[in-house]
Structure 1
Amino acid sequence: MVGVSGRWVFLFLLFLLLLPGCFRGEKEAYFRGDKALSQGRFQLAYRSFLGVAKKGGDSEWAARSLLKLAQMERVVYQRSQKALDYCQTLVKGSFPERYRREALFLMAEIRAKDLNDPRGGLEILEGTSFPSPDPRKEKLMVEYAIRAGDMKKAVALAREFLKEREGLGNLRFALVLADLFKSVGAWKKAEELYSRVITQGKGDLAHEALLAMAGLREDQKRLRDALTILKDLQKEGYKPHLMEVKMKHIRRRLREERG
């Protein structure tokens, strides 16, 4: 009995002796990875980050570092394919959910914008599922459908996503989508969504939609309609100084039109 307990004591002491070395090795890997990243030695940085994760180290630190590595490859060195590879590692690995999600968004953005393949970006997002509706994902899906020239799909997606929400969340998201459609010249759809928010919304949300509608009318060169909306907003006390600035701009445009 004494021999057994003595052996356990020995093993425990051995563990205590080895433990600092384990932590030291992990810290060295962190330092080595960060240093390599700062020097632009991305392959070494990648191996260090991945090594920490595989050995059960700080997976959050490793994931954050891998995401930073992918962003640097894309933005600084414009190596989109390499950035995609790093994102794939993040998505497929046992990393915290929020970093895997960010990697998916980055993959979709690289595909849609850098590689000029918006349909490919849309497919990446369509092939993923999150525990709860994600406004960012849904907005990007509509945006990439528009970029791909598939307005029918963009409108269908917008309707689908709006059905999934109720009340205030629905109206806020409708305003986001309206701005998106307005930005690409899909004025009819934008007007439909702005009108929904104006009719059903209250307070600042309705005011925001009215202000956006004024901007839409200006884009459509319906300047008098835009001016009327701005006057009404000013009367209601919504950002009076901003309304005054915008009205001056509209009046100047009207004078220019009259010659």
Structure 2
Amino acid sequence: MQNQQLMTSLNNGVQMPLLGLGVYDMYKKEAEQAVSWALEIGYRLIDTASMYRNETEIGNAVRQSSIAREDLFITTKVNNDDQGYEKTLKAFDVSLQKMGLDYVDLYLIHWPIKFTRKFTWKALERLYHEGRVKAIGVANYLIPFLDELRLEATEIPAVNQVEFSPYLYLEDLLKYCQERRIQLQAYSPLVRGQRMSDPKLLSVAEKYQKTPAQIILRWALQLGVSTIPKSSSFDRLKENFSVFDFEISAEDMAYMNSFNENFRIVDDPMELL
């Protein structure tokens, strides 16, 4: 049973786990096995995308699980090439068919593509109003994109999924989203392992007798940021989920906020403006 402390209430009242599994760069049996293990461990949020080319495997794992569909939270995203009003509606049908599901819990615009994003959002609003998705949102939307969307949208995004970590601490974006009841969600929260030997991080990990990954994930959760670390290793999946038995002090949270170095793994969305 999902612990209530792991949940956040989106701006439309839908409940979403704060911690989930991202499945980027996982394919075929690896993807299916990772999701099966994650569900066994206690994960209830699974985040995929058309771009990841593994929706079929994620759907297989979900359907083969003994967990009731209503207790799971499944996210997918419209691919960049499928953006635009009619193309998005068709792409959603394809994603749903691949996963073998009746609905998805969250459907996101994967990237703010310049000439199509406003039409793509209108398609998401239609899917939401028709009840085919429980919530809609965006990914890689920095403040200028969110400001633009406000002028056109009839629905406020429920979630904004962006690259976010102690080393890319987007404090202004976090405050912006919190003020507007948009749930910020972090992908690549563990910086794909590239900062795990940082002496500052190691000192905090040693203090709490936790791994560097656990410290980063706990930091995000205490900021109220949903986080979707990726792993296909059973041991790592367990490690990443074992972050609810301790709390980082306010002083150490502030210290970790100072780790920011604007370090990006993924392209800067501002280059799409």
- TM-score band, normalised by shorter chain: under 0.3
Structure richer in helix, relative to its length: 1
User: What TM-score do the two structures reach when normalised by structure 2?
Assistant: 0.24
Q: Whose RCO is larger (CA < 8 A, sep 6+)?
A: 2
Q: Which has the larger radius of gyration?
A: 1
